[in-house]
Structure 1
Amino acid sequence: MTTPFFQHMPIVKPYALMDLDDTLFQTLRKIEQWQLLKQLPNKNLTIASVNKQGEPLSFFSQKQANFFNWLSQSCELIPVTARDSNEIKRVKLPFDSWQILTHGAILLEPNGRRNPIWQQQMFEKLTPLQNDLTLLQNVLEQHSQTHDLGLVFSLHNDNFVDGNCYQNLKIYLAIKHRQKDEKILQDIAYNLANILKDNLPNFNQNFYIHVNANNLAILPNAIHKRHAVAFLLKQLDNNRPYFGFGDSLADLLFLQQLDWYGTPNHGQLHDKICQICHD
């Protein structure tokens, strides 16, 4: 049945699939870098996340806080984040729907349970790559020490279901520069295949690289926000609108699966769009 013209209907909440860091909130360093408070009359900041010691780490501007307040009350808000199951606990925001964590490796249901089907799929994909992930870290740590690059490494891991048992598996390798020299990370990413050629000649068949500011992540091909979002959309009500926001080029691949998407007026994706427009 159709009607010839639009008529007001009861409001149906859309799904909002949202990247978190640098999309909804950011550190003080990024606030200054992006001049987010420059033209705002109210320069008060609201704490969005804390560090491991419980100290304030990331913040909303007043405009961002208003945006999140609207999102959380008007939409079913679904975080889609690189944060893992421990890091998400340091985000002090009310999430009560699905959550996509660790670049898509973890999918939490609204009740907080890990989706068993997705868990099993990730277990099967990650198990064959455990030795390669350890080798990746060892080779790159040695390279950093040899060339005095000042890199900091963290191998993210989590528990995955194997039948009726849980097994702790490595997921991906994260690298930061201690002094936040982003060029060094970009050089590492550009030369990674050459650095690994003697140890992991099949690197490109099993892994990909994500670089954004002072974050370099080396991830298995099976671990990506877009894969988890594609799986999740099949679980959701297709009659409800999907929209979302993200700041990185990697986010674009999950955003393109939604009905509408956008990006803040700062960050990697925004800069790339501006570059294309200017060219």
Structure 2
Amino acid sequence: MTTSFFKANPDIIKPYALMDLDDTLFQTQRKIDAWDLPTTEPETLVCATVNKQDEPLSFMSQRQATFFNWLLASTELIVVTARDRSEIKRVKLPFDSWQVLTHGAIILTSDGALLSSWQQHMYSKLAPLQDKLNQLSELLTSHSQSEQSHLVFTPHIDSFNNGSMDEELTIYLAIKHAQKDHQALVDLAEKLPTLIRDFDQDFYVHVNANNLAILPHAVHKRHAVQFLLEHHLDHQRPSFGFGDSLADLPFLQLLDWYGMPNHGQLHEQYQSKSSG
């Protein structure tokens, strides 16, 4: 057998970079202050997202902006985010490849169209759960409307094709706390399995900072990324990615290399283990 040695090749093949967005590439001013991020002087901040009133909401540090610029020039950047189709429009960054949205329930092609094969697959998984999701929605709506709850409840809904027509389906349920009381969300997460029959069989709960999500098992970033890797991405091209959340780790583990920012949920989890 002949052993070959590495030779530099001027013909660069761009790797795939599969990237979580919020708290990985940008974050709110509140988190910038909490994490004491470097290169975040007011004059160097770059606006990355706006709120519903079109006001600046999240920012990139100078280092993050440089990193993002390098990713755009050197990789095929694929978005992998919990943001839905309306929320992603408030991200003011240029994306020109695949987008995995709504925790993996939605895949958009490079021209912004829904990937129909994935949409039909997700329809088959979500349609049987609509009664239970509606039941949970009613319970959470009444609970969030009580004066002392401080919960802000949002169902995430999108249109899915069942093979012959489009149908609006609830994908997952999101809850925030008006006073950003993380412990209140943790306590609620522990109570959720008692609300409806066979909760754990159909759903899982993810809590990160001031976000609680109730998701069907079929809705996961990992499932969507695996579908892309197997059916649409070039197997010869390397892949790497970054994410800040425990919910990102399963999709990251499908890639050739992966990492995390030095702040956020994943970092805190492993920092506490290494120091324990």
Decide: shared fold, TM above 0.5: yes
**Number of residue-to-residue matches in the alignment:** 274
Q: How does 1:138-149 map to 2 (within 5 A)?
A: 138-145=138-145, 148-149=148-149
Cα distance in 1 for residues equivalent to 2:158 and 2:237: 32
Indicate conservation of the 8 Å contact 2:159/2:168, yes or no.
yes
Out of 191, 215, 218, the residue aligned to residue 219 of structure 1 is 215
Q: How does 1:97-176 map to 2 (within 5 A)?
A: 97-145=97-145, 148-176=148-176
Q: CA deviation at 1:3?
A: 5.3
**Pair 1:278-2:275 in alignment:** yes
What are the superposed Cα offsets for residues 6-32 of structure 1, whole Å, 9 maximum, x if unpaired?
101121100000000000000111111
Indicate conservation of the 8 Å contact 1:149/1:184, yes or no.
no
Match of 2:246 in 1: 249
What are the superposed Cα offsets for residues 216-237 of structure 1, whole Å, 9 maximum, x if unpaired?
0000000000000000001101
Q: CA deviation at 1:100?
A: 0.1
Please, which moves more after superposition, 247-256 or 133-142? Answer: 133-142
**Pair 1:178-2:178 in alignment:** yes
Cα distance in 2 for residues equivalent to 1:190 and 1:66: 40
Cα distance in 2 for residues equivalent to 1:191 and 1:180: 19
Structure 1: any 5+ residue segments left out of the alignment? none
**Pair 1:231-2:232 in alignment:** no
Cα distance in 2 for residues equivalent to 1:150 and 1:170: 23
Structure 2: any 5+ residue segments left out of the alignment? none
Matched AA of 1:163:
G
Report the CA distance shift for 1:7/1:54 in structure 2 as closer, same or farther (over 3 A).
Answer: same
TM-score normalised by structure 1 residue count = 0.94
Matched AA of 1:247:
D
Q: Give 3-state SS (helix, strand or coil) of 2:37's partner.
A: coil
Q: CA deviation at 1:135?
A: 1.1
Cα distance in 2 for residues equivalent to 1:164 and 1:56: 41
Cα distance in 2 for residues equivalent to 1:79 and 1:273: 24
Cα distance in 1 for residues equivalent to 2:41 and 2:155: 42
Indicate conservation of the 8 Å contact 2:133/2:170, yes or no.
yes
Indicate conservation of the 8 Å contact 2:155/2:170, yes or no.
yes
Matched AA of 2:19:
M
RMSD: 1.6
Matched AA of 2:200:
N
Report the CA distance shift for 1:123/1:41 in structure 2 as closer, same or farther (over 3 A).
Answer: closer
